[in-house]
Copies of this chain bind each other. A is one copy, B any other.
């Protein structure tokens, strides 16, 4: 068995919180995405920063890869142990350590989930806004630079992490950032770790920026005759500067999936789902201005959620889009991919992608956080149908090309992981090697989450 010596040392440290049992390895060897299972050699459940540091030191001494694991909800295989090694399951480090309401900050351990944090925040009048849909861990969300429905108003994890505690590849523990609103004191290491997908360090503590729960919230759904009219409404709304809290697009296939799955009776047309946050006067003003844009661009079937329950039902429906879409083709595997383009260029790649999906004979609803220029297709594939998977992957490649042609990015929020590593050269050119040089400087033995994100080298094929 590989890594026997490391596993023995880890067992001595962790006792029953180290497991090489088949069931534990298997459970940490799959993701919500379509990638083939790759179980780690063992799973560890650390309970403190010091333990994480000791674990990493042991793994470094034995050349055993370390792959951090949060909720396992990533869509590009970030947490799969593709080169074996130790899965570091962070879910026991799930305490909210401190809430600083006056500075609108929370200090949490990385295994805390976003819903768990918001539960703890309820009585404070504050909330943590980043919402990728899944109830991911905050450590995982920071590591993948997650975003989601509220990013158009509140930003991504890049904007939401004030400070980190990180264990480096040699076991050193560092702190980055501060509790101040800004700093000009040297390199932005916080920003470097956010989005580094576990390849530069293990996040062991996060200081997160919170926002005031809005005094007033207003949510609506409206239908459009064409995809183009819906997308143009988004572009116009963003450009005139209405401060949307959410502006989500779903196409007619998703509307059909909602009707089947959530018991709604939406017209089978493209829809926008929007939300406004602010003071009662501010929200009324925003909603009025948005209504004018919709009317001008031919939107109809405007439906306002009048109660908190109805609002919550609508967003639950939106967050359930992935399983709802999967049910459109019973037994299918979902290959969810995302690209992000400048908002002014949104109409073209969305309609091209739609035509491309049809031309390939695939089923693939389109939806997205269109206020950011970010959209997804969920390709519904027959398990084991290699030819269909090959067609889907070619289509993903063409979506990425489209994103780059528009000045965008091959992934707005799902990240690189395994799934998009082959696209990094096209997006970054020689800057990809700079990422590789930083990785080599901070993790020369390539212990941390190897085989992901970075250029292939002898140690990172």
Contact = CB atoms under 8 A, between A and B. Distances in A.
A392 to B, nearest CB: 20
Contact of A168 (B342, B374, B434): B434
A435 B189 contact: yes
A228 to B, nearest CB: 16
Contact of A373 (B156, B181, B241, B372): B181
Interface string A165-193: 00010001111101111111111110110
Given A281-B285, A373-B181, A187 B438 contact: yes
Contacts of A144: 184
Given A239-B102, A281-B281, A187 B181 contact: no
A427 interface: yes
A275 to B, nearest CB: 17
Contacts of A184: 144-147, 195, 409, 411-416
A406 B103 CA distance: 12
Interface in A221-250: 235, 239-241
Interface in A87-117: 100, 102-105
A340 interface: yes
Contacts of A415: 184-185
A318 interface: no
A137 interface: no
Contacts of A195: 184, 186-188
A446 interface: no
Q: How many copies does the complex hold?
A: 2
Contacts of A104: 239
Nearest to A408: B180
Given A102-B343, A342-B105, A413 B182 contact: yes
Contacts of A183: 145, 340, 409, 411-412
Contacts of A435: 186-187, 189
Interface in A287-316: none
A13 interface: no
Contact of A212 (B145, B241, B442): B241
Nearest to A241: B212
A258 to B, nearest CB: 26
Contacts of A159: 159
A188 B186 contact: no
A18 to B, nearest CB: 27
A434 to B, nearest CB: 6
A432 B146 CA distance: 27
22 contacts: A103-B343, A105-B342, A151-B181, A158-B191, A174-B430, A174-B434, A178-B407, A179-B341, A179-B407, A179-B408, A180-B408, A180-B412, A181-B343, A182-B374, A182-B412, A183-B412, A184-B409, A184-B414, A185-B411, A187-B200, A188-B191, A212-B240
